[in-house]
Structure formats: structure tokens, C-alpha cells
């Protein structure tokens, strides 16, 4: 029987890890209970909690194609377009339930990409990466692990290839080959959910050439393997979580995190190495991972649902909800959000089977979806701030509301509709602040811009994947420049 952990079991499993985590210049003795990190753990825990709820299990769980056992969908290799569709839907659901990044999609995307690429490497070179990977996948499924899919290297001077960098560690690379495995050094930046993960799956970040073959490596490590250090990223308003009052957090329970993951001469046994110097497969690995991960931005639709809901609530609390322009702006927010949803559903629906049996999303449509995500959440956030009003950023603190001296003034002058407690108005405004410029804006806005590749990365893929010759030919046929059957 596979372990299908619940939220509590997941939390306990993290306590058993010996992670080397640093934040604000100090080592974090207990990441699980640290008040700044814990909301991100709560968000990942939701992926476990909902798997045990009958009203969500159809999305959150599935059957392993390897063992026939019930597993969490985050450990699954997509076996059909239905699986791809349910992945998109699961992302929206979890974004909606947490109002933030729940961090677990990236490991699923790494595993699905590796299930395709390891198979293809083996076909070309007669290696045994796919067999290794499948054994690793069984281990992940059996233990219901969170995997951090780690792709983004620090990259140093962007004009130079990995082997040309003055500091060779700016891209993860092999520093020693041993009989029993390899030793690697380098770092992965912006690693979402790294400290909440049981495993880290490392992949190359760009196309590698022959000169870069020492950088063309993919492998998996336990997250507490010797030599790994995590340095937590700061988030706007992060220390509000240690102020002791809940209102100013905006989102009471959930959040995300990113960390710099440093690999300092870390040993990787051969059975965890899934690519070793096959530089000619780096493009395929990067692009298939990117396609899956661009689909994963379905989660922003769920977060958008929360922001739209919050905006409607504040409009009602302000007594402005019946104004025609407010109604129209809410419609616009929904239009933008559901347009995002169309993209993640479309790329899943148009997915196809790869030689390994894994289903991959339509790569063009996945890039279109993610490109929309680099834009629409910003537009939705702008409308939310428009409707919320300036009070969102000028509001006194929760401590002022509780103050025996000035609390009554805060209560009196920040009241909206007379039947709504001032505290409620403050809470909903803080949630909008959280999503549009606080801790959750890391995930909802900047991650939407740069996560899974910055906008230009999608534009390059769009340029490469559209059938421009076909469009030109049909245009010429329709206007009589060329003769031919434009329906063919």
C-alpha cells in the first residue's frame, strides 16, 4: 500500500529532515515551526489534505500506472489528456484554496519531463536512465514525497556560456566522477518550496553545447543530503508574520517561499543520475519541463478567483458595489481570469503521447497560456487596487486598531457601510494588499512574470512553433497570388 500522507503526516515527515536553512543571517533550527516559513508549509500541506477529502479526491488523487495503487496526483506521470486536464484543474483548485503558490507542481513537472527525456536518451545511446528514473519515481510515489524541481542556475554573465563563466559554479556542474557516483557543485536560484521538499530534482537550465557537457546533468537528491544549504529569499512584508497579530498578514494561514539552493561538492549515487553529459538532450529537457511548468500556471487562475472575490467584498463594504463602473471592472477581472483558464485547459486538451507513453501538453498553447499569465494578473491586480481604494496602502496597523488610545478613532474613521465591522474592512483590504504587493504578490505577480521562464522565453517559443509558412500560403491563395487548395 502506497503511503497517501495527510497534512499532519506531511508536517511530521518534514520534521525528520535535517535541512541546513538560513534566513536573516541566522541558521533556522526548526523550519517547520518558523513563523515566516510555516505558512508556505501550510500551503503544501493543502495538497495532502485535499487528497483525503471525498469532494476533491477525483482531482487530487489518481492511480499509478506503475503500481496500480492510489497516489497523490502530484506524484503522477500523465497517461492521457484527461490527466493533463485534471492537472490544470487541480492547480486552479489549490490556488483558490490557499490564495498563494502551493509549490508542489514543479516537482511533478520535472518528473514528467524526465520520464520523456530519459526514455529518449536511452533510445539513442543505449543507456539505462529510464529504468533508473522509473525506480526513483516508484520511490517518490510510495512515500508521497514533495519534490523540488530545480532548473534555474544563477547564470552569472548572461553573454557567456556555462564553460566560459569566470566562476564555474554559476551553473551546476560535475566536479568529480567516482565509481559509485558523481560529485556536483553550483546552485539553483528562486527555488519555490525548496525547504518544504523531501527531494530535489536538478536539471540543466539552458541548451548546452559539447563544451558544456560537464553542465549537462540531471539528478535527484534527498533535500537534506550533505553539502546542500538553503538561503531563504525575502518577501515584501514578510516580517508581518512575526508581529503577533493576524490582520496585517492579509492571508492568515498560507504563503509561498523561494530559496537559493547551494550545492557544495554534493555526492550523487549513479542510481539517482538521469542525464550525464548527453548535452544534445538538454534542449528537450528544458523545453518539455518548461511546457509542463507553463501549464502549471493554472494556479494563478485560482489565486485570481480569490482576488476577484476579495475585490467584490471590499466594493460591497465600501458601498460601491452597485456603481456601474465597479460592476464593469469586476466583469473585466473575471474575463481576464477565465481567459487564463482557457489557455491551461486548451494546452492540456491538445496534449499528445510521447514515445515513453507520457502525455505532454501542446507546447505552443502552453507558451501562449504562460505568456498571458505574464500580463493578466497584473491587470487584475490593477483593477483590484482601483476598486479597493488608497486605504489599502494607508491603513493603520492592527496594533492601532487594538490600541486603547487610538483604536476608537481607527474604528470610527475607517468604517465603510455601517453594518460592517471596521475590522472586517481592514482584513479584506489587507488580503488585497497581500496579493498585489505583499508576500503573495511574489507568487501572483513577479512569479507570473518570470516563473517558468520570462516573457521573452515564451515569445521565442511562439515564434518557433507557429506554422508561419502555412499562414502565408493560405493568405496568398485566398487573394489570388498563388494557386492551390487552401483547404488542404
Partner 1 sequence: MRNRKGRSPELKVGLKYCGGCRAGYHRVAAVERIRERLGDKIEFVSSDCVDCDFVLVVTGCATACVDTASFKGRPIRYIKSEDDVERFITEATGN
Binding site for partner 1 (CB under 8 A): 54-60, 82, 85-86, 89-90, 92-93, 96, 305, 341
In this structure, the dihedral spanned by the alpha carbons of residues 160, 163, 169 and 173, taken in order and rounded to 10 degrees, is: 130
Q: How far is the CB of 348 from partner 1 (least distance, A)?
A: 11
Q: 11, 49, 287, 447: which is the annotated catalytic residue?
A: 447
Catalytic: 344? Answer: no
Q: How far is 267 from 8, CA to CA, in rounded Å?
A: 31
The string over 263-294, giving b where at least 16 C-beta atoms fall within 10 Å of a residue's C-beta and e elsewhere, is beebbbeebbbbbbbbbbbbebbbbbbbbbbb
Contacts of 34 (CB under 8 A, 6+ apart): 23, 28
Q: 75, 147, 299, 344: which is the annotated catalytic residue?
A: 299
Q: 75, 105, 344, 347: which is the annotated catalytic residue?
A: 105
Catalytic: 287? Answer: no
Catalytic: 105? Answer: yes
| Nearer to partner 1 (CB atom), residue 28 or residue 43 | 43
| Nearer to partner 1 (CB atom), residue 19 or residue 93 | 93
Q: What are phi and psi of 61, to 5 degrees?
A: -130, 165
Q: How far is the CB of 298 from partner 1 (least distance, A)?
A: 9
| Nearer to partner 1 (CB atom), residue 127 or residue 334 | 334
In this structure, the dihedral spanned by the alpha carbons of residues 248, 254, 258 and 264, taken in order and rounded to 10 degrees, is: 120
Quote the cell numbers at residue 411. Answer: 474604528
> In this structure, are residues 308 and 337 in contact, taking their beta carbons and an 8 Å threshold?
yes
Catalytic: 339? Answer: no
Catalytic: 299? Answer: yes
Kindly report the number of other CB atoms within 10 A of residue 400's CB atom: 16
Catalytic: 297? Answer: yes
Write the CA distances from 469 to 183, 332, 473, integer angstroms. 47, 35, 6
Q: 47, 192, 205, 311: which is the annotated catalytic residue?
A: 192
| Nearer to partner 1 (CB atom), residue 75 or residue 110 | 75
The string over 65-78, giving b where at least 16 C-beta atoms fall within 10 Å of a residue's C-beta and e elsewhere, is beeeeebbbbbbbb
Q: How far is the CB of 93 from partner 1 (least distance, A)?
A: 5
Q: How far is 250 from 9, CA to CA, in rounded Å?
A: 27
Quote the cell numbers at residue 300. Answer: 494563478
Catalytic: 101? Answer: yes
Q: How far is the CB of 488 from partner 1 (least distance, A)?
A: 34
| Nearer to partner 1 (CB atom), residue 89 or residue 241 | 89
Q: How far is the CB of 291 from partner 1 (least distance, A)?
A: 21
Q: 173, 190, 293, 371: which is the annotated catalytic residue?
A: 293
Quote the cell numbers at residue 458. Answer: 515564451
| Nearer to partner 1 (CB atom), residue 272 or residue 369 | 369
Q: How far is the CB of 92 from partner 1 (least distance, A)?
A: 5
Quote the cell numbers at residue 198. Answer: 523531501
Catalytic: 447? Answer: yes
DSSP codes joined into one string, 112-163? HHHHHHHHHHHHHH---HHHHHHHHHHHHHHHT--EEEE-----SSTTS-GG
Closest CA to 8 of 36, 60, 40, 44: 44
| Nearer to partner 1 (CB atom), residue 70 or residue 155 | 70
Q: 297, 341, 359, 444: which is the annotated catalytic residue?
A: 297
Q: How far is the CB of 335 from partner 1 (least distance, A)?
A: 15
Q: 101, 147, 237, 347: which is the annotated catalytic residue?
A: 101
Where does 205-323 have alpha helices with state H? 282-295, 299-318
Catalytic residues: 101, 105, 192, 258, 293, 297, 299, 447
Amino acid at each position: 500500500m502506497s503511503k497517501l500522507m495527510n497534512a499532519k503526516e506531511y508536517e511530521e515527515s518534514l520534521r525528520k529532515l535535517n535541512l541546513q536553512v538560513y534566513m536573516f543571517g541566522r541558521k533556522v533550527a526548526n523550519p517547520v515551526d518558523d513563523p515566516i516559513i510555516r505558512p508556505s508549509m501550510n500551503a503544501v500541506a493543502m495538497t495532502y489534505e485535499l487528497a483525503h477529502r471525498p469532494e476533491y479526491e477525483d482531482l487530487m488523487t489518481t492511480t499509478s500506472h506503475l503500481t496500480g495503487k492510489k497516489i497523490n496526483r502530484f506524484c503522477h506521470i500523465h497517461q492521457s489528456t484527461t490527466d493533463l486536464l485534471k492537472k490544470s484543474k487541480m492547480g486552479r483548485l489549490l490556488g483558490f484554496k490557499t490564495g498563494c503558490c502551493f509549490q508542489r507542481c514543479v516537482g511533478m513537472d520535472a518528473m514528467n519531463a524526465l520520464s520523456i527525456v530519459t526514455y529518449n536518451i536511452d533510445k539513442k545511446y543505449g543507456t539505462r536512465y529510464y529504468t533508473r528514473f522509473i525506480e526513483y519515481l516508484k520511490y517518490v510515489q510510495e512515500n508521497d514525497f514533495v519534490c523540488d524541481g530545480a532548473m534555474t542556475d544563477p547564470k552569472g554573465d548572461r553573454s557567456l556560456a556555462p564553460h566560459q563563466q569566470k566562476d564555474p559554479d554559476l551553473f551546476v556542474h560535475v566536479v568529480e566522477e567516482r565509481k559509485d557516483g558523481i560529485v556536483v557543485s553550483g546552485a539553483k536560484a528562486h527555488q519555490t518550496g525548496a525547504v518544504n521538499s523531501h527531494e530535489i530534482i536538478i536539471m540543466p537550465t539552458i541548451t548546452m553545447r559539447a563544451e558544456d557537457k560537464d553542465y549537462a546533468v540531471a539528478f535527484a537528491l534527498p533535500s537534506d543530503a550533505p553539502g546542500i544549504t538553503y538561503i531563504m529569499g525575502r518577501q515584501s512584508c514578510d516580517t508581518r508574520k512575526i508581529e503577533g497579530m493576524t490582520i496585517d498578514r492579509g492571508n492568515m494561514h498560507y504563503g509561498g517561499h523561494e530559496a537559493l539552493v547551494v550545492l557544495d561538492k554534493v555526492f550523487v549515487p549513479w542510481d539517482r543520475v538521469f542525464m550525464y553529459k548527453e548535452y544534445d538532450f538538454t534542449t528537450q529537457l528544458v523545453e518539455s519541463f518548461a511546457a509542463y511548468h507553463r501549464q502549471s500556471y493554472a494556479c494563478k487562475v485560482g489565486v485570481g478567483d480569490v482576488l476577484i472575490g476579495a475585490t467584490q467584498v471590499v466594493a460591497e463594504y465600501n458601498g460601491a458595489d452597485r456603481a456601474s463602473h465597479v460592476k464593469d471592472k469586476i466583469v473585466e477581472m473575471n474575463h481576464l481570469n477565465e481567459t487564463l483558464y482557457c489557455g491551461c485547459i486548451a494546452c492540456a486538451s491538445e496534449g499528445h503521447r510521447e514515445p515513453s507513453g507520457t502525455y505532454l501538453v501542446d507546447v505552443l498553447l502552453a507558451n501562449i497560456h504562460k505568456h498571458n499569465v505574464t500580463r493578466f494578473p497584473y491587470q487584475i491586480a490593477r483593477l483590484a487596487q482601483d476598486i479597493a481604494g488608497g486605504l489599502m496602502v494607508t491603513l493603520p496597523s492592527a496594533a492601532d486598531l487594538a490600541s486603547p488610545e487610538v483604536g476608537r478613532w481607527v474604528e470610527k474613521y475607517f468604517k465603510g457601510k455601517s453594518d460592517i465591522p471596521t475590522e472586517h474592512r481592514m482584513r479584506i483590504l489587507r488580503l488585497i494588499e497581500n496579493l498585489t504587493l505583499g508576500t503573495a504578490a511574489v507568487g501572483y505577480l513577479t512569479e507570473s512574470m518570470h516563473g517558468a521562464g520570462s516573457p521573452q522565453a515564451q515569445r521565442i517559443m511562439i515564434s518557433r512553433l507557429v506554422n508561419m509558412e502555412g499562414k502565408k500560403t493560405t493568405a496568398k491563395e485566398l487573394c489570388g497570388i498563388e494557386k492551390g487548395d487552401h483547404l488542404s
